[in-house]
Structure 1
Amino acid sequence: MSYFFQFLFLITFIGAIAFFVINIKKVIRNIHLGTGNLPQDNKSIRWKKMARIALGQSKMVVRPIPGILHILVYLGFIIINIEVLEIIIDGIFGTHRIFSFLGLFYDFLIGSFEVLALIVVGSVFIFWCRRNITKVKRFFKKEMNGWPKEDGNIILYIEFILMLLFLTMNGADYWNNANQGLELAGSFPISQHLFSFFQDFHPSTLHVVERAMWWLHILGILFFLNYLYYSKHFHILSAFPNVWYSKITPKAKLENLASVKKEVELMMNPEVDPFAASPNNENEASEKFGAQDIFDLNKVQLLNAYSCTECGRCTAECPANITGKRLSPRKIMMDTRDRIEEVSKNIDRNGQFKDDNKKLLGDYISSEEIWACTSCNACTEACPISIDPLSIIIKLRQFLVMEKSEAPMEINLMMQNVENKGTPWPFNNSDRLNWNN
């Protein structure tokens, strides 16, 4: 029977890891639908930024209470899952607590894992109360209806259950050994007291309970691993590369369109033949300005969309949203990710993308939303993992202005003045010296 369970575990484990790898490859493929290359410059700066923001979570503690609780859950959940390595080895080889030979160090590890598990349970409960009892406003914006709202609670339930299964497994194992006078492997400062009623159970019953909790715990972890792809909690994996590849230049610095810059340079140098300036001049003339769909966004922007935690800090800081405008930076990222996933399913069905008569701009994000943006960068400053919603908004605006000639009346008037009078203001050039009066 032992060999049967080893085989069953091995098949389950390989299947779960294979499914996870398939989904990760799909994400990587989808990110590479974007333009350009992922930045590789200033590596030392990027490593330091990733260590400070992604690992150290420096931007989370701007709001101390949720920030500290998040760090506790993050560290607790990651550190506790070190014991998953032992579970995997035990499952494959049919052993039990194979690392127990570490002696006192093993006792320290298991004891610290239990303390962390209890902290995670408490922190998750507080997070649940914030979402469902005190109802923090940023969790109840329009874009958070339906699945996004449910997903936030599902994650909390999974984390709570996994920690409870871990403690129950340890408690049953402790009392099973204690009741039989066997040598204890590990230290159980929480579970032995939390499940003290196990001391009245028969050893065979406790063995069944311990095995059941062991299986449920590892199956829960494998389920959680594969659930990440469908959840906002994919940021557990993507936050680190997202911060590493994030913008390291000043936030307010906008990137020039290379094609526009080249045309301006040609205009400023009349001696250069514009048709001889580049062998690819014809292709450059037909290049799309800005972004209409995800294929026009760069790879970092698509990675940003996958990394969004939907925490809403960006929207909570957005002055346009605060004053009642339709713009929500969080929704911009969620809509971009939804469009990526729709394109991904299209590719899966057809082997390549087939036009579905949909675009990110118009079908997902409206022009009203992007023109409500003040370009203040409050959203990028507030994001805990350096996501840049403004860069997507700017790209969509560029498409509307340069491809569709669509802009608010005030902007059109300003551009007409620049074209006709050389200034943004509707004053006659002959009166230029009187403008300051």
Structure 2
Amino acid sequence: MNYVSQIVFALILFAGIGYFASNTKRLIRNIRLGRSIDRTDRKPERWKTMIRIALGQQKMVVRPIAGILHILVYVGFVIINIEVVEIIIDGLFGTHRVLSFLGGFYDFLIGSFEVLALLVIVAVVIFWIRRNMIKLRRFLNPEMKGWPKSDANIILYFELVLMVLFLTMNAADYSLQQLGSAQYFEAGAFPISQFLSSLLMPLGESSLIIIERSAWWLHIVGILIFLNYLYYSKHLHILLAFPNTWYADLNPQGQMDNMESVTNEVKLMMDPDADPYAATGGDEEEEVVKFGASDVSDLHWVQLMNAYSCTECGRCTSECPANQTGKKLSPRKIMMDTRDRLEEVGKNIDTNKGVFKDDGKQLLDDYISREELWACTTCNACVEACPVNISPMSIIVDMRRYLVMEQSAAPMELNNMMTNIENNAAPWPYNQMDRLNWRNE
């Protein structure tokens, strides 16, 4: 019977890992649909940024209550899952608490796991209350209705159930140890679950074994389900926060990227001695350059990774001055729309055996409206607020470039300003000869 259990465990484990690997492959493929960009410079600074932001959670604690609770859940959930290593070994080889040979250190680990599990439960309950009872304004935006709200709650339920199963498993194990049951030798410290064991002890040995085994199986299966659910959830940032912060833009926030093709053209125009034919390759056919972005494939791959890394916390939107003054723009929605469109493109490729077939849609207009794009003040408040260094503004700027440079579809006020700069060397409509008359006043 024990061999059957081991075989079933191995099949479940490999199926869960296999499906996770498949999702990971699809995720990487989708991210690589973006344009190439080199973000491998300044490596020491990148490592420091990742350690400070992703590991150290520095930007989370800017809002202390949510930040501290998040750290409890993050640290607790990650550390507690160290026990998954023991569960996997026990499941594959038919052992029980195989790491108990560590003695006092093992007792310390199990005791620490239990305290953290209790703290995670408390934090999760508070998060649920904040989202569903207190109803904070940043969780009530239009983009948070429907699936995004359900997804956030599902994750909270997942975490709560997994922690309860962990404590229940330990409580039943501890009770069986006290009864001297075969295989359940004394191992581990149980500062939390020992109080639950008093409720379970009257059930008897056979019932306790069923409870312990059921909680053990449900705990590991639940972790595998949770792992594979991440791809479809905003909690994908658990995996992507580290690469996302490492590849973040390290330039000053006020510095915008220039398009290389436009920069080269301007340099050519400014150089009176330049040979335009030599610079462009003469009569040879040139690569067609698209200015800006109208769909996800026009964005670079770091921006697409940003979309998958979005936690949907809404800090960017709550700090956005355009959103605060009633404009339609929500930086969080920009990232959610980009991810949704990227997923749609990915499914199109899967359906058509690796080739994208035009579906008549694009990120611009079908997902993100022009009204949203032009509401942005490019103040970088959203970038500063993001706890994992996502830049919604970079996507907005690239899409506005497309509207201006490809479609000449800028708002009238902006077109007038650009025309004045071109004709008068100033934003205002007066003759170039008069532009310095202000000195006379």
Choose 267-276 or 97-106, whichever is displaced more.
267-276
TM-score (norm 1): 0.98
Match of 2:422 in 1: 419
What SS does the corresponding residue of 2:277 show, helix, strand or coil? coil
TM-aligned CA deviation for residue 282 of structure 1:
6.2
Shift of 1:285: 6.7
Taking the aligned partners of 2:283 and 2:150, their CA distance within structure 1 comes to: 51
Deviation at 1:86, TM superposition (A): 0.2
Q: Is the 8 A contact 1:100 1:185 kept in 2?
A: yes
1:60, CA displacement in angstroms? Answer: 0.3
> What is aligned with 2:408?
405
Contact 2:39 2:249 in 1 (8 A): no
Residue 187 of structure 2: SS of its match in structure 1?
coil
Worse overlay, 279-288 or 425-434:
279-288
Structure 2 equivalent of residue 48 of structure 1: 48
Residue 233 of structure 1: aligned partner: 235
Quote the residue 1:197 is aligned against. Answer: 199
Q: Using the alignment, how far apart are the partners of 2:140 and 2:2 within structure 1?
A: 50
Aligned to 1:187: 189
In structure 2, what is the equivalent of residue 137 of structure 1?
137
My pick for the range that moved more, 150-159 or 185-194, is 185-194
Shift, 1:421, TM fit: 1.1
Tell me: CA distance 1:213–1:435, structure 2 relative to 1, closer, same or farther (3 Å).
same
Kindly provide the CA deviation profile for residues 350-386 of structure 1, in whole angstroms up to 9, marking residues without a partner as x. Answer: 1211111111011100111000000000000000000
Q: Which runs of 4+ in 1 moved over 3 A?
A: 280-285
Structure 2 letter corresponding to 1:179: L
Structure 1 residue 286 corresponds to structure 2 residue 310: no
How far apart are the structure 1 equivalents of 2:370 and 2:284? 30
Q: Which residue of 1 aligns with 2:124?
A: 124
| Equivalent position of 2:299 in the other structure | 297
Q: Secondary structure at the match of 1:61?
A: helix
Verify: 1:71 aligned to 2:71, yes or no: yes
Mapped partners of 1:236, 1:158: distance in 2 = 15
User: Aligned equivalents of 1:304 and 1:430: distance in 2?
Assistant: 47
Give the residue type in structure 2 aligned to 1:133. Answer: M
Query: Is residue 431 of structure 1 aligned with residue 426 of structure 2?
Result: no
In structure 2, the residue matched to 1:315 is 317
Aligned counterparts of 2:287 and 2:424: Cα–Cα separation in 1: 27
Q: Distance in 2 between the 1:118 and 1:282 partners?
A: 69
Q: CA 1:274–1:280 in structure 2 vs 1: closer, same or farther (change >3 Å)?
A: closer
The one-letter code of the counterpart of 2:187 is A
Shift of 1:275: 2.3
Q: CA–CA distance in 1 between the matches of 2:185 and 2:248?
A: 52
Please show how residues 328-367 of structure 1 align to structure 2 within 5 Å: 328-350=330-352, 351-367=354-370
Q: Displacement of 1:204 after TM fit?
A: 1.3
Q: CA–CA distance in 2 between the matches of 1:267 and 1:169?
A: 73
Residue 345 to residue 282, structure 1, CA distance change in 2 (3 Å): farther
Residue in structure 2 matched with residue 378 of structure 1 by the alignment: 381
Q: SS of the residue aligned with 2:435? A: helix
Cα distance in 1 between the residues matched to 2:422 and 2:219: 67
CA contact (8 A) 2:426 2:435 kept: no
Residue equivalent to 1:33: 33
Kindly tell me: are residues 281 and 121 of structure 1, through their superposed partners in 2, closer, same or farther at Cα, counting changes over 3 Å?
A: farther
Report if the CA contact (8 A) 1:54-1:239 is conserved: yes
Query: Contact 2:291/2:401 (CA < 8 Å) preserved in 1?
Result: yes
What is the CA–CA distance in structure 2 between the aligned matches of 1:114 and 1:356, rounded to whole Å? Answer: 51
Asked whether the 8 Å contact 1:180–1:203 carries over to 2, the reply is no
Work out which of the residue numbers 391, 397, 415 in structure 2 matches 1:388.
Answer: 391
In the alignment, structure 2 segments of 5+ residues that lack a partner are none
Partner in structure 2 of residue 89 of structure 1: 89
CA deviations on 1:383-430 (whole Å, 9 max, x unpaired) are 000000000000000000000001111110001101111111112223
- Aligned CA-pair RMSD: 1.3
Please report how far the alpha carbon of residue 278 of structure 1 lies from its aligned counterpart in structure 2 after TM superposition: 3.0
Amino acid at match of 2:381: A
Cα deviation, residue 38, structure 1 = 4.5
Q: Would you say the 8 A contact 1:314–1:382 is kept in 2?
A: yes
Contact 1:259–1:284 under 8 Å retained in 2? no
Q: Distance in 1 between matches of 2:287 and 2:180?
A: 82
C-alpha displacement at 1:280, in angstroms?
Answer: 8.4
2-structure distance, mates of 1:233, 1:35: 25
2:31–2:304 Cα contact (<8 Å) kept: yes
Partner Cα separation in structure 1 for residue 268 and residue 55 of structure 2? 46
Tell me how many residue pairs correspond in the alignment. 437
Tell me, in whole angstroms, the C-alpha distance in 2 between the residues paired with 1:213 and 1:324: 49
Question: Residues 64, 284 of structure 1: CA spacing in aligned structure 2 closer, same or farther, 3 A cutoff?
Answer: farther
Instruction: Please give the alpha-carbon distance, in whole angstroms, between the structure 2 residues aligned to 1:37 and 1:266.
Output: 24
2:201 touches 2:208 (CA, 8 Å); kept in 1? no
How many Å separate the matches in 2 of 1:378 and 1:286?
Answer: 34
Task: Judge conservation of contact 1:166–1:217 (CA < 8 Å) in 2.
Answer: yes
Maintained 8 Å contact 2:295/2:364: yes
TM-score by length of 2: 0.97
Asked if the contact 1:294–1:340 (Cα under 8 Å) also holds between the matched residues in 2, the reply is yes
1:20 maps to what in 2?
20
SS at match of 1:248: coil
Deviation at 1:283, TM superposition (A): 5.8
Give secondary structure in 1 for the equivalent of 2:161.
helix
CA-to-aligned-CA distance 1:182-231 (integer Å, 9 cap, x gap): 74111111001023111112111111110000000000000000000000
The letter for the 2-side match of 1:397 is R
Distance in 2, matches of 1:38 and 1:20, equals 28
Provide the rounded CA distance (Å) in 2 between the counterparts of 1:264 and 1:6: 68
CA distance in 2 between counterparts of 1:432 and 1:165 reads 74
Letter in 2 for 1:147: W
Using the alignment, how far apart are the partners of 1:282 and 1:301 within structure 2? 32
When residues 283 and 5 of structure 1 are mapped into structure 2, their CA distance, relative to the original with a 3 A threshold, is farther
Q: Is this contact kept in 2: 1:291–1:395, CA < 8 A?
A: yes
